[in-house]
Amino acid sequence: MYATGTESLIKQARDIQEEELQKFYGRISKLLRSTKEHGNEAVDSLQRLHLIVSATKYARTLPPDLLKSLQALLRSPTCPEHLQVLSSSILRESLPLSVHSLSTDFTSDVRTISYLATVVLSQAASKEELTFLSQYLLKNLESRQPEGQIPRHTLPILSKMISFTPEILKEDQVNLVSRKLVDWLRYASVQQSTSISSGGFFAGPRARQPVPMTEVDGAVVGDFFTVLCVGQSYTEDQWMNMYAFSMIRKWLLTYDTEGASAGDSAQLKRTQISESQNQDDRSEVDSSVMSMVSATSSASRLLPPKERLREKAFEYCQRLIEQSDRKALKRTDTELQKACLVESVAIMDLICCEDSSYVYRAFPCIKALYGRLSGDLLFARALLPIAQFYLNHSETAAVDSEAVFRQLFGAFPAELFNEPMLAFEFVQFCRLNEAVLKDSVALCRQSFPNLLKFLAWNSPALIAEFVELLPSLLAPETAIELLHTLLDLPCLAASLELQQRSASYQPSERVQWDQGGKLAACLEAFRQPSYRGLFLYILRPEAGTGDTIDRLSALHEILAPMGESPRVLHCAQIVPVLLHVYFNNVTQFADGKLLNQLLLVLLERSGLLYNVKTFPTEVQRVFSTHLRALCKLHPALIIDQHRELLDFTASTANIYSKEDFYTHMVWVIGEYLSVTYDSRCTVELITSYFESLEAVLFEVTQVRRSASPPSYSPRVITVLMTTLAKLASRSQDLIPRASLSLSKLRSFSCSEVVAASYSEDDREELVTRAHELINLLKLPNVAQFVLAPSAPGDSTRWHRDTNTSLPQGMKAINDLLHKQSSFLPA
Amino acid sequence: MVVCFLIHTVCPVSALSAGESRILYSRVFGPEERDPTEAGLNPEQRRVVQKERLAVVARQVRSAVCLSREASGNVCVETVLGEEAVALGEAESGVLSLGSGEPFAGRTVVLWLAVHALAFTLVCQPHENLLLAEGTLRNLARHCLEELRLLGPGSEVLLKSDRVDAMLQRLLPHGQLLFLNHRFTHGLERDLSAYMSK
């Protein structure tokens, strides 16, 4: 559907030669000047001109006469709409700017004003450039013209202006608009417009009898007009009613949130207001039948404009909520009812935040609405603003909100995880309210396994939100379980996919990524009772059943074929990002105990990961980074967990399966196993670490003819070497043994097997490093200094590379010893 | 308020590098919230910055569409002119949020609706009623598919862009989402079809 012809048109428009372009401009100018009646040719040329000016990101400058003609066209009320549309869009896209020349005496034509405004709004760069237009619109409102004379788009234009700069309206102007909004919202006529129903040829004056509006279900309207009232055609004030409701939330958000009028002061003002401020009150007589909503509002006439608007907006919302209970005849109106519910509850919430006296009036209505909707997950999205309302006001009104949040955090994620829009709004709700939820809804934190279902299913769309949300889900009690759950996220995605498909899967169904029917086998396993516990754990709704499970590897095996599902792959890609966020935050509050637990999880999970593409490697890389950070924060870990660390480092299998993590583990031992950090660091402990690593170095550097070339990088060997030297320098009895181990590196590097996999440079480097270390260990006191861990905090390190501070140190000592140093006095 | 409306490609385009998207129609509503760093820019530079922002949005949406299609594993059914309702019924939709400065000064929420090779995108301010925005976007997409014959091989989307302007002027005036019941919609659409038929 995207044709190559379209692409070549863009290219033509971009590549047009200057000379040709000038001619084209000239032709259009002439065309626009020559005739009063512009025909198809003008339209066609302007369409081409629009393509030319909009096809590149670099602006084109129109010649002055063309600019003038276009502006004149735009301002002319008699100009056909096509030409107005085109000239406004060309002026928006091109230079010089038209904002100043257009901001002078506007015509009163309603349509023209709106098109003019599109140019002014899009080109204005400051409040000043909008002033003329805003003044004009306000003057129009003030002059009490009949509705037909007020530009219909006045409210959308004002709405756009105030979202750019709220200061554009002064206090009295805000009051003026507020009064008009009250009129339109509350006192629009409830009769249909007669202009259309003027009847046929034989229809007498009876056809002009006013016809009442109906509700969306066809019943005759019994109260004031709202956007949910249906008629053959609408009067101007009914149109304005619709525009007013569409912008009212924005308006209240902008001008009614200063908190100047709290509950009691509003009450006070209500009694002080004089009659003079009621000038805009219209009669309410034309609505003969009053519903509950209207009946409650008698005293509101005495309020100042802002508060009166609040009152009327509140009533409007109440009425919309009533009206949303009606069964709409049209499907689109059913959709509109839902949107109205969302908007109404949000507006009522806003009003209650400003004036808490409304809370008591609102709650019965909101509670009833919740009761009506809570059983139907089709209304899930309308329940979010209700939850927001409960969150903000249930305490004030002493209403129990437990059930609302139980449903919100229980059923929603579990059953509606595959609704992308709901997922987004839900996560946004959590993020916006994270501070309140953290303190007052314990359930939220507790429900992280459920919340993560949204992420597992919609990972690309939600990752940004979750990066912000994750810190608020972290608490000391759940930190460990959360870490396991994050690591299990791809498994969760796979399980959700199975859960989803198990309900509807047909063997004949073709799934794009599934080659060879692996999915069917997985589904079989999903339904087997023996694996039920595993899936129940992964799909659990709340935290607290235990940090992890024993048979995780069994689950990984069952889910192995699901590793090709794109959803699982997307999920696997985001886990490292979340882990970084997790560790950066957990270290801010973790105590020694938690840090010890974290270290154990790193050890355990580094080898227990769902094998999806590069997922294990990526996660191990993150583990490595944060292992260093954890040990730096709490060096005692090396001693607290020495049994586990010894077990881990002694196993050469770990080098093959998780080289990066292993290397970092060895490095942190060399760096932090020192009496400088922990007085419990005994000679015996150093010796046991030394012996363990010595054996590993021996094993990996053993040269056998039959052996295959080493599959690990030379880095592992250099880190092992350096760590041995470091440990030996701290317990000097070990120095001869260290030197002996190091001396074997020469024969290792020279062997044929090694030459097959390491480059010449690498091998040379290994020998040099071994040689350096052996020499250094010959001077134990110097070695102790060079290989000592850098003092935390105040050290002036030689350089930042954490693995190889040695050569720099050695160079400096060399310089010192040879008295060539510039550090020394001559 | 809606910040902008875009129609852009989500298929590979030969002249563009992979992952890029060609913007076929764009409309930015009104003055944007500006970065303080942009205070010194002249109108020409401002325009370049704005167009680049739109390109960022289009790219982001394109990748979101691709990921979403990949994840759902749905196979696209080809539709031709006249089957707009079918195409719209099968269209995928989604939402993503853009942080402040990425690329707009404030935080924004992006709604997209992907029909075959094209996506229709609305960038909204964060407080916007997404349920309403979704309905509006779907309605706009339907009109665009029909009026610009987007399922056909032509290039009306470039040459008849005034039709989109006229649509937006009625259904999304100045970026204001409207609560339109079916009769209000009917009124506006009758007005719109008068425009189209001229």
- Write the DSSP string, A440-498: H-HHHHHTHHHHHHHHHHSHHHHHHHHHHHHHHH--TTTHHHHHHHHHTHHHHHHHHHH
Instruction: Please give the biggest Cα pair distance in chain B.
Output: 49
Q: Does A384 touch chain B (CB under 8 A)?
A: no
What tens digit of pLDDT does each residue of A456-477 get?
Answer: 999 999 999 999 999 999 999 8
Main-chain phi, psi angles of B121, to 5 degrees:
-130, 130
What pLDDT is attached to residue A676?
Answer: 85
Q: Does A310 touch chain B (CB under 8 A)?
A: no
DSSP three-state, residue A417: coil
What pLDDT is attached to residue A107?
Answer: 72
What pLDDT is attached to residue A39?
Answer: 77
By the 10 Å C-beta count (0-12 exposed, 13-18 middle, 19+ buried), A378 is classed as exposed
Main-chain phi, psi angles of A689, to 5 degrees:
-60, -45
Which residues have a Cβ under 8 Å from the Cβ of A81 and sit 6 or more positions away?
A111, B166, B195, B198
- pLDDT band of residue A808 (cuts 50, 70, 90) is low
Tell whether the model's pLDDT for residue A280 goes beyond 60: no
Put simply, the answer to whether A234 touches B174 (Cβ < 8 Å) is no
Structure token digits, residue B158: 């470039």
CA A511, A513, A517, A518 torsion-angle sign: negative
Could you tell me where the DSSP H helices lie in A284-375? Answer: 292-295, 305-323, 331-354, 357-373
Structure token digits, residue A803: 């693995």
What pLDDT is attached to residue B31?
Answer: 83
What pLDDT is attached to residue A790?
Answer: 64
Q: Work out the minimum CA distance from B82 to partner chain A, whole angstroms.
A: 13
Q: Work out the minimum CA distance from A217 to partner chain B, whole angstroms.
A: 12
Among A410-424, A658-672, A796-810, B24-38, name the one with the lowest average pLDDT: A796-810
Mean pLDDT, rounded, of chain B: 90
Is residue B179 within 8 A of residue B132, CB to CB? The reply is: yes
Among A201-205, A228-232, A269-273, A682-686, name the one with the lowest average pLDDT: A269-273
- Which residues of chain A neighbour B129 with C-beta distances below 8 Å? 249, 339, 342-343, 346
- pTM above the 0.80 mark? yes
Put simply, the answer to whether B185 touches A228 (Cβ < 8 Å) is no
- pLDDT band of residue B81 (cuts 50, 70, 90) is confident
Main-chain phi, psi angles of A538, to 5 degrees:
-60, -35
Q: CA dist A178 to A349, A359, A527, A597, Å?
A: 19, 22, 61, 60
Which residues have a Cβ under 8 Å from the Cβ of B160 and sit 6 or more positions away?
A47, B147, B148
Tell me which residue range forms the domain holding B126: 2-196
Mean pLDDT, rounded, of chain A: 84
Q: Work out the minimum CA distance from A353 to partner chain B, whole angstroms.
A: 16
Q: CA dist A3 to A574, B150, B156, Å?
A: 36, 10, 11
What tens digit of pLDDT does each residue of A38-48 get?
Answer: 778 888 999 99
What pLDDT is attached to residue A793?
Answer: 47
Is residue A284 within 8 A of residue A187, CB to CB? The reply is: yes
Angle subtended at Cα A459 by Cα A535 and Cα B136, rounded to the nearest 5 degrees: 120
Put simply, the answer to whether B129 touches A342 (Cβ < 8 Å) is yes
Count CB neighbours of A394 within 10 A: 21
- Tell me what the mean pLDDT of segment B137-158 comes to: 89
- pLDDT band of residue A109 (cuts 50, 70, 90) is confident
Tell whether the model's pLDDT for residue A318 goes beyond 60: yes
Is residue B109 within 8 A of residue B130, CB to CB? The reply is: yes
What tens digit of pLDDT does each residue of A752-796 get?
Answer: 888 888 888 999 999 999 999 999 999 888 888 888 776 554 444
Helix (H) or strand (E) holding A230: strand A229-230
**Nearest CB to B181 within list A54, A246, A336:** A336
Q: Which of A146-150, A261-265, A547-551, A651-655 reaches the highest mean pLDDT?
A: A651-655
What pLDDT is attached to residue A664?
Answer: 95
What pLDDT is attached to residue A259?
Answer: 46
Is residue B103 within 8 A of residue A602, CB to CB? The reply is: no
What pLDDT is attached to residue A825?
Answer: 45
Q: Report which of residues A594 and A97 the model is more confident about.
A: A594
Q: Does A16 touch chain B (CB under 8 A)?
A: no
DSSP three-state, residue A215: strand
Which residues on adjacent β-strands are paired with residue A191?
Answer: A212
- pLDDT band of residue B112 (cuts 50, 70, 90) is very high
- pLDDT band of residue B61 (cuts 50, 70, 90) is very high
Is residue B97 within 8 A of residue B121, CB to CB? The reply is: no
Count of domains in chain B? 1
CA distance B20 to A34: 43
- DSSP label at A143? T
Structure token digits, residue A445: 């934190």
Tell whether the model's pLDDT for residue A197 goes beyond 50: no
Count CB neighbours of A418 within 10 A: 16
SS (H, E, C) chain B: CEEEEEEEECCCCCCCCCCCCCEEEEEECCCCCCCHHHCCCCHHHHHHHHHHHHHHHHHHHHHHHHHHHHHHCCCCCCCCCCCHHHHHHHCEEEEEEECCCCCCCCCEEEEEEEECCEEEEEEECCCCCHHHHHHHHHHHHHHHHHHCCCCCCCCHHHHCHHHHHHHHHHHCHHHCCCCCCHHHHHHHHHHHHHHHHC
CA distance A463 to B125: 19
What pLDDT is attached to residue A78?
Answer: 85
Give the length of chain B.
198
Put simply, the answer to whether B153 touches A566 (Cβ < 8 Å) is no
SS (H, E, C) A677-746: CCCCCCHHHHHHHHHHHHHHHHHHHCCCCCCCCCCCCHHHHHHHHHHHHHHHHHCHHHHHHHHHHHHCHH
DSSP three-state, residue A91: helix
What pLDDT is attached to residue A286?
Answer: 39
Q: Work out the minimum CA distance from B152 to partner chain A, whole angstroms.
A: 6
DSSP three-state, residue A606: coil
Residue type, A105: D
The domain locations on chain A are 1-96, 169-192+212-256+303-397, 400-503+518-629, 634-703+710-790
**Nearest CB to B127 within list A3, A253, A570:** A253
Angle subtended at Cα A238 by Cα A233 and Cα A242, rounded to the nearest 5 degrees: 110
Structure token digits, residue A207: 């056809």
Main-chain phi, psi angles of A613, to 5 degrees:
40, -120
Q: CA dist A221 to A189, A190, A588, B62, B178, Å?
A: 11, 7, 60, 46, 21
Put simply, the answer to whether A156 touches B176 (Cβ < 8 Å) is yes
CA distance A525 to A528: 5
Among candidate residues B137, B127, B106, the one with its CA nearest the CA of residue A429:
B127
Q: CA dist A194 to A135, A190, A236, A286, Å?
A: 33, 12, 11, 16
Q: Report which of residues A370 and B154 the model is more confident about.
A: A370
Tell whether the model's pLDDT for residue B123 goes beyond 50: yes
- Which residues of chain A neighbour B116 with C-beta distances below 8 Å? 1
Count CB neighbours of A124 within 10 A: 23
Helix (H) or strand (E) holding A229: strand A229-230
Which residues have a Cβ under 8 Å from the Cβ of B120 and sit 6 or more positions away?
B5, B6, B7, B112, B113, B114, B137, B140, B141, B144
Closest chain B residue to A234, measured at CA: B184
* C-alpha B90: how far from chain center: 17
CA distance A585 to A592: 15
What pLDDT is attached to residue A812?
Answer: 67
* C-alpha B105: how far from chain center: 19
Put simply, the answer to whether A229 touches B181 (Cβ < 8 Å) is yes
Put simply, the answer to whether B22 touches A2 (Cβ < 8 Å) is yes
What tens digit of pLDDT does each residue of A558-569 get?
Answer: 898 888 889 999
What tens digit of pLDDT does each residue of A719-730 get?
Answer: 999 999 999 999
Enter the ipTM.
Answer: 0.95
Put simply, the answer to whether B64 touches A420 (Cβ < 8 Å) is no
Among candidate residues A334, A324, A173, the one with its CA nearest the CA of residue A254:
A173
By the 10 Å C-beta count (0-12 exposed, 13-18 middle, 19+ buried), A60 is classed as middle
Put simply, the answer to whether B155 touches A6 (Cβ < 8 Å) is yes
Count CB neighbours of A511 within 10 A: 18
Pairing mode of beta strands B108-115, B118-124: antiparallel
Q: Determine the angle formed by the axes of helices A552-559 and A518-527, rounding to 10 degrees.
A: 140
What tens digit of pLDDT does each residue of B162-193 get?
Answer: 999 999 999 999 999 999 999 999 999 999 99
Put simply, the answer to whether A51 touches B169 (Cβ < 8 Å) is no
By the 10 Å C-beta count (0-12 exposed, 13-18 middle, 19+ buried), B177 is classed as buried
Closest chain B residue to A465, measured at CA: B97
Q: Report which of residues A79 and A647 the model is more confident about.
A: A647
Among A39-53, A102-116, A656-670, B143-157, name the one with the lowest average pLDDT: A102-116
